[in-house]
Structure 1
């Protein structure tokens, strides 16, 4: 199960001591044949997501015998997780969030599923596109720049709620759907568990960046109502923006072809995004096929585009917290996401649905 094309390291990544996975699942002193409590907790987290994945797979009308194949997926993936509980080194282990995601995608593809979230992504993209202008107008109406940037950041958090990879949120979404404006208003109060918002806004005010690479996350409200208004604001200030999206489908993450289509629908006939020129907006294929990312394995295209970046943004719990929270860069970096797993909240010492905005200036 490989993305198309060769993968290389992100050139602005500081590779010395880089570990993609944030949470230490085991230590050298741990018994290699016995799962650690952290490994067991994460295996159980992925096990709890199986019913929602099976349900999505059953309803995939592009796949013949979808219900039978969905059951096969559920059984096979559950067996693999049980194997890892008995022997952490089975199936390429010991397990971490990257391996657990890889194994899930591998089993889905082996039984015949390519994109079980395709239909819901299309529905949510259409809904979010219809709301895009209203969200942007609200932002544009805020005269004070610091307040406007804070509102844009809050919009990213609100959009990031929409995550069908979280079992609890998948269930909530199935019941109620989600309101973007309500999500903006109902964020947990500051200070957040990691809260560098003020230092990020202060740096923004000094206009330091010429090129930003933004690793995007989910389809729907997340990318369209959260990230794109933020990217548009950077474009307004003359920053070149590269949006890096997945090569292959994974959960409800937006893919490179889907993002190209979304931008085409939002631009007017003059190539503008509600009055803002998009000639400085590029869409890149990240080379990734998971909801988490190892930055030593990105596409050559993205590596080329990132070579002169002076800001890297990793958005979403998978890319910005579960992986890469402590990654260091030769340029400024922003990790921004909502905490949607109790295990992540516990690790950070925060609350479920807490917010993380971690801003670091470049490492010399």
Structure 2
């Protein structure tokens, strides 16, 4: 379904949204902080975004969808650097004070104003093509695991391994530019448990005893993330009788999968009978979230997504931007799972985690919330 109307609050947030929901996880400033002086946290995040400018400029320079990409890429780097320096001098300039949502929004706006629609398109297409060739093998390996508890553990590890593909991390962007990453090696080399937030044993127990009627999954990156991580897990939910709604970005942002791209991927995976490797996919729906950033503010999603999600009993926020940097503490009127890998030092420091640590936060809705 395509997004075409005014944005609305995500219906499964606890109400009232205006007073209880805060999208950004990290407190960048407190009421006692001087309004015209940046806090140490704001400065560290501004510097984090500054470090990413060279990789974005390089991607923009190689964009061949319009003329003068080199000059426009240089203008992007100069303009974004200037705005970040302005925010260092006065955090209330440019719509501040800054947080990860504002810093992402300004970056994407500058790129679009300069005519860059999707500077990561080529690398996304390449990674999607590679991941599609591995999809059947990954699914078959999981299907061969007879023990349901061990199978779901393998599927979850696949989500973490896939989530490493994140070109929003300057360090990871350099690794991919150099030699790429192996999905299987990533599965085997995850940091050992216990993870920084680790509700996995509770989730496995619920998995064995509970069946959700509808799950909404906010997907993250292209390539291995969505194709080898999320889709095998979604297929397993379908096999268990759960209807699945995959919510993808309206517009491109970094290497996040978009709604049109996800539709194309699903069409390639379905056979002539509408099945994905033997599993009926008629219960799989693709929704345009209305989002255009690598993070998400759930107070404004597309009405189409709100309609499809209204009766869901499980919400899954996947990826560092959607489940950790934003929405880690979001409360829902149904069961929820926040799953992602910590890929920024600043996030690791806030959580008391290791770099590349895993977050697996499962919350089962209580009776009091259901009565609201």
Q: Which TM-score band applies after superposition, normalised by the shorter structure?
A: over 0.9
Normalised TM-score (structure 1):
0.99
Q: Which moved more, 1:200-209 or 1:102-111?
A: 200-209
Which residue does 1:11 correspond to in 2? 11
Q: Which of these residues, 345, 352, 362, is aligned with residue 359 of structure 1?
A: 362
Which residue does 1:87 correspond to in 2? 90
Q: Which of these residues, 128, 136, 141, is aligned with residue 138 of structure 1?
A: 141
Is 1:33 aligned with 2:36? yes
Q: Which of these residues, 347, 351, 358, is aligned with residue 350 of structure 2?
A: 347
Contact 2:25 2:324 in 1 (8 A): yes
Contact 2:7 2:302 in 1 (8 A): yes
Tell me how far 1:228 sits from its aligned partner: 0.1
Contact 2:211 2:240 in 1 (8 A): no
What per-residue deviation string (whole Å, max 9, x for no partner) do you get for residues 269-320 of structure 1? 1110000000000000000000000011100000001110000000000000
What per-residue deviation string (whole Å, max 9, x for no partner) do you get for residues 56-84 of structure 1? 00000112100100000000000000000
Which residue does 2:102 correspond to in 1? 99
Tell me how far 1:208 sits from its aligned partner: 3.0
Q: Which of these residues, 298, 307, 319, is aligned with residue 310 of structure 2?
A: 307
For 1:354 and 1:314, the matched residues in 2 are separated by 17
Runs of 4+ with >3 A deviation = none
Is 1:203 aligned with 2:232? no
Which residue does 1:286 correspond to in 2? 289
Q: Which of these residues, 70, 75, 89, is aligned with residue 73 of structure 2?
A: 70
For 2:153 and 2:163, the matched residues in 1 are separated by 15
Tell me how far 1:362 sits from its aligned partner: 1.4
For 2:69 and 2:6, the matched residues in 1 are separated by 32
Q: Which of these residues, 177, 180, 185, is aligned with residue 177 of structure 1?
A: 180
Normalised TM-score (structure 2):
0.96
Is 1:265 aligned with 2:280? no
For 1:233 and 1:56, the matched residues in 2 are separated by 36
Q: Which of these residues, 330, 333, 336, is aligned with residue 330 of structure 1?
A: 333
Is 1:247 aligned with 2:243? no
For 2:148 and 2:183, the matched residues in 1 are separated by 22
Contact 1:4 1:247 in 2 (8 A): no
Contact 2:338 2:362 in 1 (8 A): yes
For 1:285 and 1:321, the matched residues in 2 are separated by 21
Gaps of 5+ in 1: none
Gaps of 5+ in 2: none
Contact 1:339 1:356 in 2 (8 A): yes
Contact 2:212 2:314 in 1 (8 A): yes
For 1:61 and 1:174, the matched residues in 2 are separated by 18
Which residue does 1:230 correspond to in 2? 233
For 2:159 and 2:11, the matched residues in 1 are separated by 26
For 1:6 and 1:232, the matched residues in 2 are separated by 31
Equivalent position SS for 1:102: helix
Q: Which moved more, 1:8-17 or 1:218-227?
A: 8-17
Contact 1:117 1:251 in 2 (8 A): yes
Equivalent position SS for 2:86: helix
Tell me how far 1:5 sits from its aligned partner: 2.9
Equivalent position SS for 2:209: coil
Contact 2:63 2:119 in 1 (8 A): yes
Contact 1:5 1:287 in 2 (8 A): no
Which residue does 2:160 correspond to in 1? 157
TM-align CA RMSD: 0.8
* Number of residue pairs the alignment of both structures matches: 362
Q: Which of these residues, 277, 281, 286, is aligned with residue 280 of structure 2?
A: 277
For 1:13 and 1:306, the matched residues in 2 are separated by 11
